Amino acid sequence: MTNAIAENCTKRATTKLGSSFLMPDFLFEGIFSDEKNQSYFYNWNRVVVGYCDGGSFSGDVDQPDPATKLFYRGARIYRAVMNELMAKGMKDAENVILAGGSAGGIGAMIHCDHFRSLFHPAVNVKCYIDSSLFLKLKDPKRAMFFKTIFGTVVELQQSAKALPAECTSERRPSACFFPKTLVKYIKTPIYLLNSAFDSYQIRNMFSEGLHDQIMNHTVTPSDMELLKDFRQQIIKALPTPSPTNGYLVTSQFGHSFGLKGLKKPMFPQNKTSKTMEKVMVEWFFGEKSIHIIDPNDEPFWNATLSH
């Protein structure tokens, strides 16, 4: 499987997924928008680090892969970017969020404590993780999807060096790559936003057909039971509630919500509920302890709301 992943990396390196040279211009919209009605953070300094290393910014290999000639140095990319940002004035910030979505969210988790260490203890530094609660499902066949990918990435990119030493001293490095495990070793305050019916995981661990059934509102009773069980596994993967850690699990079917903005209601079937952004901001400034799970146990899909 390592060879297959390496070949995939070679293909990615010739696309926007694996080369910053090929990335299109980033549209500062959604949570990144400079419009007050689009984002609470409209007047913050916002920096987007394009994800192109294929290993959640965890790779730290001295020599290029002999077969593909690729360098796996995501962790070094992260450190170089942070050094530049600190030199450009980030060191003087009073409130700072390290955020990531999907695979980038795992990178934000991996580096969360290091990021915190860059600042004076009085600075408010926290980490926001969007749609990164990737599961090793109870079903062995479905569990192989992420088990294989994470295991191979950790081996190929020598990611163990970037993972918490406290974790790798007790478990296999590939186990420490799973967010359910990784989050237990993060000491910096962290907030997770995740769909109980994450569309990326439904598509890749169940089927494209089930993904489309949700969008078409044609899920069969038996498949709905599968989805409800998946929701329970998402909930069980959440970190233990604490005054500093927070989470919001929504029934909205989707993935990487921040890119399209967090002005949506946290409970999509209740348009008067607080927005995803509102509860995240309350958590960040310590106004409230946020541990919220949408009581709706079926996926909600509305094209207008979800995009």
Task: Give yes or no for a contact between 124 and 94, defined as CB atoms under 8 angstroms apart.
Answer: yes
pLDDT digit string (tens) for 102-150? 999 999 999 999 999 999 999 999 999 999 999 999 998 899 999 999 9
What pLDDT digit, counting tens, does each position of 52-72 carry?
889 999 999 999 888 888 899
E-state strands within the chain? 95-101, 124-130, 190-195, 246-250, 291-293
Q: Which residues are catalytic?
A: 102, 198, 255
Instruction: Quote the pLDDT of residue 19.
Output: 87
Q: Distance between terminal CA atoms of the chain?
A: 35
Which pLDDT score, from 0 to 100, does residue 78 have? Answer: 98
Number of helices followed by number of strands (H, E) in the chain: 12, 5
Domain ranges of the chain: 2-306
User: How would you label 103-132 residue by residue, b for 16+ Cβ within 10 Å and e otherwise?
Assistant: bbbbbbbbbbebbbebbeeeeebbbbbbbb
Which of these, 22, 39, 41, lies nearest to 30 by C-alpha position?
Answer: 39
pLDDT in tens, 27-53: 999 999 999 999 999 999 999 999 888
List, for residues 161-175, the tens digit of each pLDDT value: 999 999 999 999 999
User: pLDDT tens digits for 132-145?
Assistant: 999 999 998 899 99
pLDDT at 305: 60
Provide the mean pLDDT of the chain.
94
Percent helix, strand and coil across the chain, each rounded to 5? Answer: 45, 10, 45
| Residue 87 pLDDT exceeds 80 | yes
Give which of 119, 108, 135, 132 is closest to 47, Cα–Cα. Answer: 108
Q: How many residues appear in the chain? A: 307
pTM: 0.94
Give the model's pLDDT for residue 218: 97
pLDDT at 94: 98
- State yes or no: pLDDT of 306 exceeds 60: no
pLDDT for 174-222, tens place per residue? 999 999 999 999 999 999 999 999 999 999 999 999 999 999 999 999 9
**Rounded distance between C-alpha atoms, residue 162 and residue 183, angstroms:** 14
pLDDT of 257 above 90: yes
**Percentage, residues of the chain above pLDDT 90:** 82
Please give the pLDDT value at position 133. Answer: 98
pLDDT of residue 307: 47
